[in-house]
Amino acid sequence: MKEEKHRVLYEKVKDLILSREKVCALTGAGISAESGVPTFRGKDGLWNKYNPAELATPEAFSRDPELVWKWYDWRRQIISEAKPNAGHLALAKLEEIKGENFILITQNVDGLHQKAGSKRVLEVHGNIWKLKCTSCTYEEFNYDVPLKVIPPRCPECGNLLRPGVVWFGESLPFDVLDEVERWLRMCDLMLVIGTSGVVQPAASFAFVAKHNDAVIVEVNIERTPISEIADFFFLGKAGEILPLIIPEILK
Ligand code: BJW
Ligand code: ZN
CATH number at residue 99: 3.40.50.1220
* 116 and 143 housed in the same domain: no
* 76 and 87 housed in the same domain: no
- Residue 5, pLDDT above cutoff 90: no
Percent of the chain, pLDDT > 90?
Answer: 90
In the prediction, which pLDDT does 250 show? 57
Q: Which of 199, 235, 240 to mutate to test the pocket of ligand 1 (most atoms within 8 A of CB)?
A: 199
Look at residue 205 and tell me if it is in a domain.
yes
CA triple 88-29-52, angle to 5 deg: 155
- Residue 181, pLDDT above cutoff 80: yes
CA of 173 to the centre of ligand 2 (A): 19
**What tens digit of pLDDT does each residue of 72-96 get?**
999 999 999 999 999 999 999 999 9
Greater pLDDT, 247 or 93:
93
Burial 104-115 (b: 16+ CB within 10 A, else e): bbbbbbbbbbbb
- DSSP per-residue letters across 92-152: HHHHHHHGGGEEEEE---S-HHHHHT--SEEETTEEEEEEEESSSS-EEE---SS-SSSS-
Per-residue 3-state assignment (H helix, E strand, C coil) for 56-108: CCHHHHHHCHHHHHHHHHHHHHHHHCCCCCHHHHHHHHHHHHHHHHEEEEECC
**What tens digit of pLDDT does each residue of 192-217 get?**
999 999 999 999 999 999 999 999 99
In the prediction, which pLDDT does 1 show? 66
Look at residue 41 and tell me if it is in a domain.
no
* 137 and 52 housed in the same domain: yes
Domain count, the chain: 2
Domain enclosing residue 195, as ranges: 2-36+83-125+171-245
Q: Is 90 in the pocket of ligand 1 (CB under 6 A)?
A: no
Q: Is 183 in the pocket of ligand 1 (CB under 6 A)?
A: no
- Looking at residues 94-121, what average pLDDT do you find? 98
In the prediction, which pLDDT does 227 show? 98
* 93 and 211 housed in the same domain: yes
CA of 199 to the centre of ligand 1 (A): 3
CA of 84 to the centre of ligand 2 (A): 33
Model pTM score: 0.97
- Given 6, 88, 113, 125, the catalytic residue: 125
CATH number at residue 53: 3.30.1600.10
